[in-house]
Amino acid sequence: MRIAFHSPENYVPAVQAPEAHVDGLLFVFRGDQLLVELGPPSATPSDDPRVQSRPSWARLPAGRVSAFETQPLRDLYLGRLGEVHCHAAELPAHTPAPPGMAWQGLRTLFSVLDDAHFALAGRAIQFIDWDRNHQFCGRCGTPTVAQANERSRVCPACRLSAYPRISPAVMALVRREGQVLLGRSPHFPPGMFSALAGFVEPGETLEQCLAREVQEEVGVSVGNIQYFESQPWPFPNSLMIAFVCDWTGGEIRPQEGEIEDAQWFDIFQLPQLPSKISIARRLIDAVVAQMRGAAHRP
């Protein structure tokens, strides 16, 4: 199974290109859209109802950022993928795509773009976003300066450094006797349910965060918390850390404004689930498969 946004094995991060204007693979964004060459629409419908039609393949442009007619707003070196240099750039809003190319949302390119390129695109969009948001010092307002030896911007007046920020978020799938607890937030597509999730607060362990989030969102208490997997999630800069746990007490009481509905679902009668791009789906699939296997044993 494909795991989205995991850094490729043969990727070597770097901040400074070995020489100016080196040719390479281009991750060019306009807002949150990536510039790609697209194949014809795929005949296979997506399992994500928000995705209308997916291209059958997509390729990144290669060459130099300076070859674009429009001057980029920012141009960052990403390092090497194998022997190939990688560059991220942002072009201004409304820049038209060059002939034969298109602007495409990153999510729709999962399993359409090469997996390694897709993963680096997730990294690239976060660096672009960070660079855009840290042009000025957050403490004194002075314009910041990009550092050559590391991915940071430093204030020349007060020396405050800004690094790309990652926000850890915990995901929890709660089990109870042949059932799993799934909820839906108001922004989900109609009918879709998923595992619960929330951001880690300063001073919390991941386990404390999980117990608090589950208690706040649905009013139940949990124990036997076991780590599952993690996944970088660049919308906008999360690291999702997924766990499975067991219900220990309480009845479901959805948190107003956060959780539209939450229910215990029989593991053989699940509702519509998130797309396979997400760790939520991997978590639910793995836990439910294990529970089904145990249920079938004599």
Q: Which is nearer to Zn ion, 13 or 156 (CB)?
A: 156
Q: Which stretch binds Zn ion (CB under 5 A): 132-140, 168-176, 232-240, 273-281?
A: 132-140
| Binding status of residue 67 toward Zn ion by CB under 5 A | no
Residues 63 and 212: their CA atoms lie apart, in Å, by 49
Least Cβ distance, residue 157 to Zn ion (angstroms): 5
From the list 12, 62, 67, 140, which residue makes contact with Zn ion (rule: CB under 5 A)? Answer: 140
Interface with Zn ion by CB under 5 A: which range of 57-65, 139-147, 263-271, 289-297? 139-147
What is the DSSP track for 36-77? EEE-PBPSSPPSSTT----BS-EE--EE-GGGSSSPPSEEEE
Is residue 209 a contact point for Zn ion (CB under 5 A)? no
CB of 156 to Zn ion, least distance (A): 8
- Which C-beta is closer to Zn ion: that of 160 or that of 286? 160
Minimum Å gap between C-beta 147 and Zn ion is: 14
Distances (CA, A) of 25 to 102, 126, 290: 16, 17, 41
Q: Are 281 and 47 in contact (CB under 8 A)?
A: no
Phi-psi region of 250 (alpha: psi -120 to 50; beta: other; left: phi over 0): left
Total site size for Zn ion, rule CB under 5 A: 8
Query: What single-letter DSSP state applies at residue 15?
Result: S
* Contact string 78-117 vs Zn ion (x = CB under 5 A): ----------------------------------------
Binding residue for Zn ion, selected from 106, 112, 119, 137, defined by CB under 5 A: 137
233: exposed, middle or buried (Cβ count in 10 Å: 0-12, 13-18, 19+)? buried
Residue 139 binds to Zn ion (criterion: CB under 5 A): yes
Do the beta carbons of residue 197 and residue 172 sit within 8 Å?
A: yes
Using the minimum distance from each CB to Zn ion, give the nearer residue, 134 or 175: 134
Contact characters 15-34, Zn ion, x per CB under 5 A: --------------------
Cβ proximity to Zn ion, 67 vs 157, nearer residue: 157
Shortest spacing between CB 39 and Zn ion, in angstroms: 47
Q: If you search the block for the tokens 């957050």, which residue do you land on?
A: 138
**What is the footprint of Zn ion within residues 45-64 (CB under 5 A)?**
none
Contact letters (x/-) for Zn ion, 146-175, by CB under 5 A?
---------x-xx-x---------------
Cβ–Cβ under 8 Å, residues 170 and 196: no
Task: List all residues 6 or more positions away from 77 whose beta carbon is below 8 Å from its beta carbon.
Answer: 14, 15, 16, 17, 85, 86, 87, 88
Q: What is the 3-state secondary structure (H, E, C) of 248-297?
A: EECCCCCCCCCCCEEEEEECCCCCECCCCCCHHHHHHHHHHHHHHHHHHC
The CB-of-15 to Zn ion minimum distance in angstroms stands at: 21
> Which of residues 137 and 197 has its CB atom nearest to Zn ion in the complex?
137
Give me the residues that bind Zn ion (CB under 5 A), please.
137, 139-140, 142, 155, 157-158, 160
